[in-house]
């Protein structure tokens, strides 16, 4: 008996795979997990062969029958429908590969997406591609990149200990592959399947220091003889609670020395909300030293090779590594250190969360608190600067 829509819909998985015939070689293969696949059995040149038509319900019974009829027409004309299908797929892949290297597609994706992102976030994504992905597979046709090839590139990032970055880069690569698929330039996204093969994180836990570890850390930091610009950046990161990306893309026009406040525009903030940062006496002193070095540039932390771009994402963490704190603390980890110390001291939690630019889900209350808490946060951050510099217990 031929199938009908009700029988197809009612087909459920059993202990073993089984088939429901429709006629003319067409059948529905039902797997133990309940998945249903359309197949056609036929003979060509004396050999029995199989042809796949897709998965139900994406391919309906009517669609499957039409595909069967089309295949029979090819057989009647003396052609093998399986080989015809394979040749079409190869031709499509070849056409895709000729003109679509991964780098070209990724830059196109970035250009379309970046207007919705903060400048810092867009810059970080592009920098990750330029440093960690493009040198290895940027030239490769995007449709030709296999899972193992992408995995090997991601493992190079993991080998540096940058597990969270490897995870984020894999996710961004996945978005590029999805974009390539919907624009007709790829047929498969290998990135999602790699999650289980990577070392990864269950959650993001940035290494951080306890209060008792700070004196020894600052002794090591102040003894570092490398770039004074990066060292000043590290001090400012610690004293303000900023995210690394928010700090390194800073511009001098954002700092009001007279009123001791740093206003970061919403375009550079993760939560897309302008952020006021009260500056302690120590933070002002570090900024004045920094201005002697970079005040002639728009950027507070210009790149070493190209001052029109900010210093690299890894700069501050590299300093921590070189002074013996690899794996013990990161720039982001100092936000945790600040939060822990200030909460233990008993400062207002709302002040602390506002200082760290954590999003208040009540947008009206968040705007109100932004201004309302500034005086309290100014007092809090002066205490914190004194504390980490050993001037107050």
Which residues are catalytically annotated?
243, 270, 332, 335, 358, 368
Q: Which residues contact 307 (CB under 8 A, 6 or more apart)?
A: 297, 299
Q: Which residues contact 340 (CB under 8 A, 6 or more apart)?
A: 208, 210, 211
Report how far apart, in Å, the C-alpha atoms of 370 and of each of 214, 238, 262, 270 are.
Answer: 29, 21, 13, 16
Q: Which residues contact 6 (CB under 8 A, 6 or more apart)?
A: none
**Per residue in 315-340, is it b (16+ CB within 10 Å) or e — as a string?**
bbbebbbebebeeebbbbbbbbbbbe
**Which DSSP string corresponds to 361-373?**
SSHHHHHHHHHHT
**Which DSSP string corresponds to 253-280?**
GGEETTTTEEEE-GGGSTTSS-EEEE--
Structure tokens at 209: 């220091």
CA 181 to centroid of chain Cα atoms:
19
Task: Give yes or no for a contact between 38 and 50, defined as CB atoms under 8 angstroms apart.
Answer: no
SS3 381: helix
How crowded is residue 205: how many other Cβ atoms within 10 Å of its Cβ? 10
The H or E element spanning position 49 is strand 47-56
């Amino acid at each position: 008996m031929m199938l009908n829509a009700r029988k197809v819909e009612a087909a459920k998985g059993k202990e073993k795979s089984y088939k429901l015939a429709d006629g003319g070689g067409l059948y529905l293969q039902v797997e133990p997990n309940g998945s249903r696949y359309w197949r056609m059995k036929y003979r060509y040149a004396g050999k029995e062969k199989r042809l796949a038509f897709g998965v139900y319900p994406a391919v309906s019974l009517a669609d499957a029958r039409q595909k069967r009829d089309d295949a029979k027409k090819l057989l009647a004309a003396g052609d093998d429908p399986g080989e015809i299908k394979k040749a079409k797929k190869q031709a499509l892949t070849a056409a895709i590969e000729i003109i679509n290297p991964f780098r070209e597609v990724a830059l196109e994706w970035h250009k379309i997406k970046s207007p919705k992102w903060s400048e810092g976030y867009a810059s970080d994504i592009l920098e990750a591609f330029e440093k960690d992905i493009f040198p290895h597979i940027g030239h490769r046709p995007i449709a030709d990149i296999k899972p193992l090839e992408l995995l090997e590139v991601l493992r190079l990032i993991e080998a540096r200990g940058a597990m969270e970055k490897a995870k984020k880069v894999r996710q961004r690569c996945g978005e590029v592959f999805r974009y390539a698929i919907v624009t007709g330039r790829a047929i498969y996204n290998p990135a999602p399947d790699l999650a289980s093969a990577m070392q990864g994180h269950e959650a993001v836990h940035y290494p951080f220091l306890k209060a008792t570890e700070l004196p020894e850390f600052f002794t090591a930091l102040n003894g570092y003889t490398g770039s004074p610009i990066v060292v000043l950046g590290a001090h400012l990161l610690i004293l303000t609670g900023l995210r690394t990306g928010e700090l390194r893309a800073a511009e001098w026009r954002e700092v009001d020395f007279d009123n001791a406040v740093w206003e970061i525009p919403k375009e550079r903030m993760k939560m897309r909300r302008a952020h006021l940062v009260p500056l302690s006496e120590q933070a002002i002193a570090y900024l004045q030293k920094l201005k002697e070095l970079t005040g002639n540039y728009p950027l507070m932390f210009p790149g070493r090779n190209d001052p029109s771009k900010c210093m690299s994402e890894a700069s501050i963490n590299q300093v921590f590594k070189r002074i013996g704190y690899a794996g013990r603390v990161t720039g982001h980890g100092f936000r945790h250190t600040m939060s822990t110390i200030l909460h233990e001291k008993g400062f207002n939690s709302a002040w602390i969360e506002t200082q760290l630019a954590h999003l208040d889900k009540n947008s009206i209350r968040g705007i109100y608190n932004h201004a309302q808490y500034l005086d309290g946060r100014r007092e809090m951050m002066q205490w914190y600067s004194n504390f980490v510099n050993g001037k107050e217990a």
